[in-house]
């Protein structure tokens, strides 16, 4: 066992155990992931992702890396933006999520390259992509600083990183948000996905994720410039943007 500890939700675990525990969560929820996203957010996750896609300065023929791409929502949007001459990679560290995403895109007639990839050790060359995106995946990574540095490495100079993630909700809403997250969310997980524990973890992982200003500084520390963020839905989520110069 390693002496290094990290958090898994509100629990403290050995660093080498976290990846496996997170994997168990997403193996469990993969088949019902889209349904639960719609139920949990009231469909707002689609608005957040749509805003993210429309925010990007992306040209036809561009190269995009979608990290922790899950069921492929962003990859689909990026593929439309870059066109047939472009290149969009759908990646995820979880094989169940990646399979669901790949099959879903194939069913829509969209064939994209996919890779089972660890964001902390990306299997791509330096200075390759015009855009890197990660939506609702950064908070599950053990070494977020290492993952951000890898994202910086694979971006071309002038390339952009977009991080869409749950964040710090505005203070007047904290009480209601906590009630929803820790009382209602696990119940919905049990009823819809037959898995209350995984959704309890998801609620806890949101609370343990760095707030807006902390993540902004982490992106600066990873080498990004012009880092800024945009709050959505009263800070429930935030879109962070950084540029590699």
The CA distance from 62 to 46, in Å, is 23
pLDDT for the residue numbered 59: 94
The CA distance from 41 to 39, in Å, is 6
Annotation: binding site: 71, 92, 118-119
CB 236 within 8 A of CB 166: yes
Q: Which residue has the higher pLDDT, 161 or 190?
A: 161
Q: Find the range with the poorest average confidence among 5-9, 147-151, 160-164.
A: 5-9
pLDDT-based confidence at 11, cuts 50/70/90?
low
Q: Give 179's contacts (C-beta < 8 A, 6+ positions apart).
A: none
Report pLDDT digits (tens) over 219-235.
999 999 999 999 999 99
CB 17 within 8 A of CB 86: no
Instruction: For the chain, give the mean pLDDT.
Output: 90
**Using CB atoms within 10 A of its CB, is residue 224 exposed (0-12), middle (13-18) or buried (19+)?**
buried
Q: Which residue has the higher pLDDT, 234 or 18?
A: 234
Query: What is the average pLDDT across 71-87?
Result: 96
Q: What is the pTM of this model?
A: 0.90
What tokens appear for 10 in the block? 């509100």
pLDDT-based confidence at 8, cuts 50/70/90?
low
The CA distance from 40 to 55, in Å, is 24
pLDDT-based confidence at 2, cuts 50/70/90?
very low
pLDDT at 203 over 90: no
Using DSSP, state whether 1 is helix, strand or coil: coil
Q: Find the range with the poorest average confidence among 25-39, 62-76, 158-172.
A: 25-39
Q: Which residue has the higher pLDDT, 3 or 169?
A: 169
Annotation: binding site for S-adenosyl-L-methionine: 71, 92, 118-119
Using DSSP, state whether 47 is helix, strand or coil: helix
Query: What is the average pLDDT across 39-68?
Result: 93
Which one, of 92, 163, 145, lies nearest residue 122 by Cα?
Answer: 92
Give the other-Cβ count within 10 Å of 186's Cβ. 19
Query: What is the average pLDDT across 84-101?
Result: 94
Q: Find the range with the poorest average confidence among 37-46, 170-179, 205-214.
A: 37-46
């Amino acid at each position: 066992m390693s002496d290094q500890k990290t958090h898994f939700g509100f629990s403290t675990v050995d660093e080498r155990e976290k990846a496996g525990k997170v994997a168990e969560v997403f193996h469990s929820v993969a088949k019902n992931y889209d349904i639960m996203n719609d139920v949990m957010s009231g469909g707002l996750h689609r608005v957040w992702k749509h805003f993210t896609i429309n925010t990007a300065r992306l040209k036809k023929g561009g190269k995009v890396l979608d990290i922790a791409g899950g069921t492929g929502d962003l990859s689909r949007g990026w593929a439309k933006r870059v066109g047939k001459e472009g290149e969009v990679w759908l990646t995820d560290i979880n094989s169940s999520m990646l399979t669901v995403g790949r099959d879903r895109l194939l069913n829509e007639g969209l064939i994209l390259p996919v890779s089972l990839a660890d964001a902390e050790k990306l299997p791509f060359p330096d200075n390759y992509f015009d855009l890197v995106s990660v939506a609702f995946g950064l908070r599950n990574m053990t070494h977020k600083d290492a993952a951000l540095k890898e994202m910086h490495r694979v971006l071309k100079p002038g390339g952009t990183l977009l991080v869409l993630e749950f964040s710090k909700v505005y203070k007047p809403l904290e009480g209601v948000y906590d009630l929803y997250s820790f009382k209602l969310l696990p119940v919905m997980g049990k009823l819809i996905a037959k898995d209350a524990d995984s959704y309890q973890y998801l609620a806890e992982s949101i609370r343990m994720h760095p707030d807006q200003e902390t993540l902004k500084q982490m992106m600066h520390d990873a080498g990004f410039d012009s880092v800024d963020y945009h709050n959505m839905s009263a800070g429930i989520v935030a879109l962070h943007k950084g540029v590699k110069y």
